Amino acid sequence: MTLEAIRYRTGSLQVLNQLLLPHQTVYDDIRSVQDAFEAIKSMKVRGAPAIAIVGCLSLAVELRAGAGGDDPVTFIRESLCHLTSARPTAVNMGRAARELMEFAENESMEKNSEQLRESVIAWIEDMLERDVNDNKKIGNYGAQHILSGVPRDSVTILTHCNTGSLATAGYGTALGVVRSLHGLGRLKRMYCTETRPYNQGSRLTAYEAVAEGIPATLITDSMAALTMREMDITAVVVGADRVVANGDTANKVGTYQLAIAAKHHGIPFYVAAPSTSCDLSLESGRDIIIEVRPPEELTSINGVSIAAPGIEVWNPAFDVTPHQLITGGIITELGVFLPSELQAALTGRLTAL
């Protein structure tokens, strides 16, 4: 059973407070859009798909309570705009906001306020199931593609950050590929980086791996290139916060240098991302806004200072990997594509082989 980052039933939402993991398993109630905004901003909830899902579910909870009165469309628009401002790099929340707003405006032509609220709630609740189904397709497509490229019985994967059930509605993206390989009995080992400064790897990916008996070894970010040289890594598989039209990909900071090391060692580098994490409106990675987070997240851990007081800090939460370094491909729920094929694949002009 994979971990539940999100507990939802109509009218009620709880999220696993990821700031307290791995030592405390605490679910916080999300009773409003503002609660969700604060949970996302503080990274109690994080992960591109999970941010969009929790944001939209918080709107569903308020709509279930009658929010918006006689003008729910205005309430929906203002809520989605607010939620999208919480974290700028991941595209999923902004995409969901755009698609949901279009749906709500169309529905408002034919439905009264109460019917509109119910219709929007149903649209949002469908996101949960869609995300898990997409992730299982990503897992299976990715596992098959990686296995097709190697003669060996089992494979070793290096991954970064957390891209599992704690970053999505369940199963995960890059970690979903690892889960699929493990489920096929073809995973020898996963190496997961600790992923400074928020430690999504040591706190969250390690937590998921231990909980499910996935063979995994934790390494520091600075050990990644050495691990690629010494540990017979079959592939590097990472997640994404925003994949743009030419395949350039924004992901957790540290991803770019993993791609460089993978290139040097001739190891295929994959990005695993649902189409909801893709943004064809941007031509290249130069256009992606990179969130810069508070210095304290780098200079302290659990409130304990680990840096010289007064030192200046640069703390970008993401970096951009050029599409030329994504040598294995981009693993989506539609199949695995080269960066150069992505736009055609996402616009339905290309199907997976």
Ligand X SMILES: CSC[C@H]1O[C@H](OP(=O)(O)O)[C@H](O)[C@@H]1O
Interacting residues with ligand X (CB under 6 A)? 46-49, 161, 163, 167-168, 173, 200, 239, 241, 251-252, 317
Write the DSSP symbol of residue 203: I
Which of 88, 268 has the CB closer to ligand X? 88
Structure tokens at 278: 């893709």
Instruction: Tell me the C-alpha distance between 261 and 229, whole Å.
Output: 9
**Per-residue H/E/C for 82-133:** HHHCCCCCCCHHHHHHHHHHHHHHHHHCCCCHHHHHHHHHHHHHHHHHHHHH
Burial pattern 122-151, b for ≥16 Cβ within 10 A else e, equals ebbbebbebbbebbbbbbbbbbbbbbeeee
Residues 141, 145, 146, 147, CA torsion sign: positive
Which of 87, 117 has the CB closer to ligand X? 87
CB of 294 to ligand X, least distance (A): 13
Residues forming beta bridges with residue 156, ordered by sequence position: 189
Report yes or no: 57 and 244 within 8 Å, Cβ to Cβ: no
CB of 21 to ligand X, least distance (A): 12
Single-letter code of the amino acid located at 163: T
Report yes or no: 235 and 269 within 8 Å, Cβ to Cβ: yes
Catalytic residues: 241
Which of 45, 59 has the CB closer to ligand X? 45
Which of 165, 227 has the CB closer to ligand X? 165
CB of 95 to ligand X, least distance (A): 14
> Closest CB to ligand X belongs to which residue?
239
Instruction: Tell me the C-alpha distance between 318 and 291, whole Å.
Output: 7
CB of 192 to ligand X, least distance (A): 12
Residues forming beta bridges with residue 279, ordered by sequence position: 244
Single-letter code of the amino acid located at 223: M
Phi, psi of 29 (to 5 degrees): -70, 140
Which of 59, 320 has the CB closer to ligand X? 320
Instruction: Tell me the C-alpha distance between 205 and 239, whole Å.
Output: 12
Which of 53, 116 has the CB closer to ligand X? 53
